[in-house]
Amino acid sequence: METDTDRDSELPWTSARALRDKIQNKESSAEDLCRAFLHHAQSKDKDIGAFLELNETHILDQARAVDAKLARGQELGALAGVPVAIKDNLCVSGEITSAGSKILSDFRPPYDAHVIEKLRAADAILFGKVNLDEFAMGSSTENSGRHITKNPWNLDYVPGGSSGGSAAAVAAGFAPLALGSDTGGSIRQPASLCGVMGLKPSYGRVSRYGLLAFASSLDQVGPFARNVEDLALLLEVISGHDARDMSSANTAVPNYLQNLNGDLSGLTLGLPKEYFEATLDPEVLALTKAAIAKLESLGATTIDISLALNKYAIACYQIISTAEASSNLARYDGVHYGHRSDKVDDLLSLYSRSRTEGFGPEVQRRIMLGTFVLSTGSYDAYYLKAQKTRQLIRLEYDKAFRHCDVMVSPTSPFAAIKIGEKVDDPLTMYASDALTVSANLVGVPGLVIPCGFSKEKLPVGLQILGPHWSEQTLLNVAHAYQSVTDHHTKHPE
Ligand code: GLN
């Protein structure tokens, strides 16, 4: 017989769709469900530290509004009553949105990001703000100006980053869904390290209006979930045109969830040889190869492809992303936006002291690098050369996608690292983005799905990349894989 405790212990692992159905069918009120999720998060997040803000009153108010809507007989949205954790670089009207930075520690935006408007319209519950590396610059949350988030699978390890709070929240069952952002891998890498699914959409698919910008030619907002159906549903909800983001494309949004189909016959998987030659951990390599074999057994065929220019991707990404960051972060000067130092003598010291006190070391390093590559004398040597290289990388990807439908590869060269292991080694941290940054330079979508565990019981994720607008294909490949594997059903103790 099922007891209350059984039900409570299952709830954190319930899918977003099942939660919505429970509410719609009046098996449970949105308020009761949200109370249960709050209870779970409040008791377990003490150890993990996924949340920066978790405002019980705001959460229960939203839940009661959903219950009231149902009681009035009104139609509920696609995510009615479903908790969604929000990366803290997405503006939520009236709620602290700090981007994990001291410089914005008391910033309450007067407006919602486009994706937040979309979530509200779908009757989702905005379930707290979650941690990130400061301004999304990092791969572990160790660069957060607030605190370090721990990997729910082993609290001695990082959850990845920069969307480490989003991935950890979903992995720990605090919410079935989360939003993150990906500039060079920040959705895909933490998804891989936390054993959940994450999708970086095509550039232009999701509006960045209300996303605190890091590097505008690379940034995308995207979903986290624990199963492909939920991932498809959240992507569907947040996608679509928005005139307030000039890069937002006016392209119809498919019914990603309804169109899921796991048929892989006739599908060609490209295996970029350079992605397998990178200094990969042997366990990651073995799990990736096993996943590829699984996809082949489902009817896909593989071909070897070459992306010879990938060796320039990290350098190209570091130059372009820091150049754009130095410009985007210029607005935090203590006058327009952000912390203002009270130890100032004149205007110049107001700017410099406010920024010195407000920004952490990694953000300062990137602003200096970005300012340098844009300065007279360096512009041609670095910035312009990086832009030309980016174009060549794009052309190489275009060419590769003429021979295959999708590419599959590892996501991160290794599973999660120990907290503190590489904090003094930023270059090694940058190098670990080798398999993810190209998708952002090129603008194509990428999905990560759990494909197994290391001997230390740390998750590893398979990366699936496709041409522009191929989100449906990526979801279908993942759906086929999910249907014959159970890695995604495992969760931390
Ligand atoms: N880890 C990468 C970096 O440090 C990517 C960050 C991101 O995608 N926001 O820049």
Q: What is the pLDDT of residue 262?
A: 80
Whether residue 137 has its Cβ less than 6 Å from ligand 1:
yes
pLDDT at 163 over 80: yes
pLDDT (tens digit, 9 = 90+) per residue, 176-206? 999 999 999 999 999 999 999 999 999 999 9
Q: Which fold has domain 9-311+391-489?
A: Amidase signature (AS) enzymes (3.90.1300)
**Residue 163 CB–ligand 1 contact under 6 Å:** no
Beta carbon of 135 within 6 Å of any ligand 1 atom = no
Residues in CB range of 39: below 8 A, 6 or more apart:
none
Ligand 1 probe mutation, 87, 131, 132, 139, most atoms within 8 A of CB: 139
Residue minimizing CA distance to atom 3 of ligand 1: 138
Q: Measured in angstroms, how far is the CA atom of residue 400 from the centroid of ligand 1?
A: 25
The pLDDT of residue 6 is above 60: no
Residue bearing tokens 């150049």? 323
Ramachandran quadrant class, 109 (left: phi over 0; alpha: psi -120 to 50; beta: rest)? beta
Tell me: pLDDT of 383 over 70. yes
Measured CA to CA, the distance from residue 196 to residue 129 in angstroms comes to 18
Ligand 1 pocket: which of 140, 142, 162 to mutate (most atoms within 8 A of CB) = 162
What pLDDT, on the 0 to 100 scale, is given for residue 7? Answer: 54
CB atoms within 10 A of CB 94: 12
Pocket test residue of 131, 137, 193 for ligand 1, highest count of atoms within 8 A of CB = 137
Query: Is the confidence at residue 2, as pLDDT, over 60?
Result: no
Closest by Cα among 441, 152, 426, 477 to 291 = 477
Strand runs labelled E in 4-162:
51-53, 83-87, 125-130
Give me the half-sphere count of Cα atoms (radius 13 Å) on the Cβ side of residue 486.
2
Q: Say how many Å lie between the CA of residue 183 and the centre of ligand 1.
A: 6
Has 29 been annotated as catalytic?
A: no
Could you tell me if the CB of 162 is within 6 A of ligand 1?
yes
Closest C-alpha among 224, 214, 210 to residue 179 = 224
**Main-chain dihedrals φ then ψ at residue 197, nearest 5 degrees:** -100, 145
User: Which secondary-structure segment (H or E) carries 322?
Assistant: helix 313-328
The pair of structure tokens assigned to 289 is 């190869």
Whether 89 lines ligand 1, by a CB cut-off of 6 Å, is no
In degrees, to the nearest 5, what angle opens at C-alpha 121 toward C-alphas 119 and 125?
45
Residue 432 appears among annotated catalytic residues: no
User: Given a cut of 60, is residue 1 above it in pLDDT?
Assistant: no
Q: Which of 186, 207, 248, 326 is catalytic?
A: 186
pLDDT at 144: 98
Ligand 1 site-directed mutation target among 88, 183, 438, most atoms within 8 Å of CB: 183
Nearest ligand 1 atom to the CA of 215 is 9
Q: Tell whether ligand 1 has an atom less than 6 A from the beta carbon of residue 143.
A: no
Whether 102 sits among the annotated catalytic residues: the reply is no
Separation of alpha carbons 394 and 52, rounded Å: 37
pLDDT digits (tens, 9 = 90+) for 224-248: 999 999 999 999 999 999 999 999 9
- CB 303: neighbour CB atoms within 10 A? 11
For the chain, percent of residues with pLDDT exceeding 70: 98
Is 412 close to ligand 1, i.e. is its CB under 6 Å away? no
Q: 62 CB under 6 A from ligand 1?
A: no
Residue 313 and residue 437 in contact, taking contact as beta carbons nearer than 8 Å? yes
Among the listed residues 87, 118, 129, 200, the single catalytic one is 87
Q: What is the DSSP string of 432-454?
A: TTTTTHHHHHHT--EEEEEEEE-
Mean pLDDT in the chain?
Answer: 96
Helix, strand, coil proportions of the chain in percent (round to 5)? 45, 15, 45
* Cα(414) to centroid(ligand 1), Å: 16
Q: Which two tokens stand for residue 382?
A: 């670095």
pLDDT in tens, 79-131: 999 999 999 999 999 999 999 999 999 999 999 999 999 999 999 999 999 99
Tell me, using a 6 A CB cutoff, whether residue 103 lines ligand 1: no
- How do residues 31-87 score in pLDDT, each as one tens digit? 999 999 999 999 999 999 999 999 999 999 999 999 999 999 999 999 999 999 999
141 lines ligand 1 (CB under 6 A): no
